């Protein structure tokens, strides 16, 4: 099970979201770049970045910060938020150097864009984010209902060549209430998609719940708040040791 730490960026700062991208955010760090280096130091193999300004307004004003992150760590970075046309996708992949892009709202509004992105970059570079509230997909920064179930949306994306989705129940995001196991299994049992679970992980026990699912399609999990608040014992030890050594600096790993 690959564990992927999440860095949510809003107005150039690292925040966490709680059920609503627009208002319910909590500040974590002035520097998303420092957080990325810290996660790399803790030996994570991949980082996910969400440009919340892009998700809400389609304006990637955090472009330069994201570029600095990709240049500062030597592990793959996947990026979501505001990627709504082929030109933006091309710019993000070629200029930012991200490993793969995550597309949500645009996948519903313009399936042709998804097909074009897969044709140009391959299906390993294009991931679809499926955000759910009450068994209905939500879009535009979780504001509007799309009148389609997560399973039907997943099947639609699979039919045009998508191979991986990131699924999350947005009512669980940031509140540590556990993953939506039943929905994960529903999608896994009715498609051949690879699935990354996001949202709700509060501690090692929640992580174990996802790991114990006997379905090879569910192969990774994204975690945000629980990491920032040191909910994993080994992580707490690492950070306690670092806090005792004031001379310790984050490495320049690239």
- In 10 A of CB 201, how many CB atoms? 27
Q: 8, 51, 140, 169: which is the annotated catalytic residue?
A: 8
Which has the closest alpha carbon to 120: 97, 93, 102?
A: 93
Q: CB of 86 within 8 A of CB of 106?
A: no
The yes-or-no answer on residue 64 being catalytic is: no
Point out the catalytic residue in the list 53, 131, 140, 206.
Answer: 131
In degrees and rounded to multiples of 5, residue 58 shows phi and psi of 70, 15
Sign of the Cα torsion 220, 47, 20, 159 reads negative
Paired sense of beta strands 13-17 and 25-29, if any? antiparallel
Q: How many other β-carbons are positioned within 10 Å of the β-carbon of residue 72?
A: 18
Is there a catalytic annotation at residue 131? yes
Nearest to 184 by CA among 173, 176, 195, 200: 195
Active-site residue list: 8, 131
């Amino acid at each position: 099970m690959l564990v992927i730490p999440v860095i949510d960026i809003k107005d150039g700062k690292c925040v966490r979201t709680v059920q609503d991208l627009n208002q319910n955010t909590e500040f974590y760090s002035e520097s998303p770049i420092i957080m990325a280096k810290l996660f790399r130091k803790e030996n994570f193999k991949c980082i996910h970045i969400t440009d919340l300004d892009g998700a809400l307004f389609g304006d990637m004003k955090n472009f330069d910060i994201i570029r600095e992150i990709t240049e500062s760590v030597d592990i793959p970075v996947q990026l979501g938020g505001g990627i709504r046309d082929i030109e933006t996708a091309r710019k993000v992949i070629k200029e930012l150097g991200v490993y793969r892009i995550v597309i949500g709202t645009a996948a519903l509004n313009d399936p042709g864009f998804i097909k074009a992105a897969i044709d140009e970059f391959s299906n390993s570079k294009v991931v679809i984010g499926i955000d759910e509230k009450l068994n209905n997909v939500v879009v535009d920064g979780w504001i509007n209902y799309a009148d389609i179930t997560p399973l039907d949306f997943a099947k639609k994306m699979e039919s045009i060549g998508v191979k991986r989705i990131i699924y999350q129940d947005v009512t669980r995001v940031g509140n540590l209430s556990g993953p939506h196991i039943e929905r994960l299994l529903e999608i896994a049992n009715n498609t051949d998609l690879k699935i990354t679970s996001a949202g709700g992980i509060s501690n090692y026990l929640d992580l174990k719940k996802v790991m114990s699912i006997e379905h090879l399609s569910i192969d990774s999990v994204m975690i945000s708040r629980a990491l920032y608040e040191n909910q994993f014992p080994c992580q707490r030890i690492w950070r306690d040791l670092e806090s005792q050594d004031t001379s310790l600096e984050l490495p320049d790993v690239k």
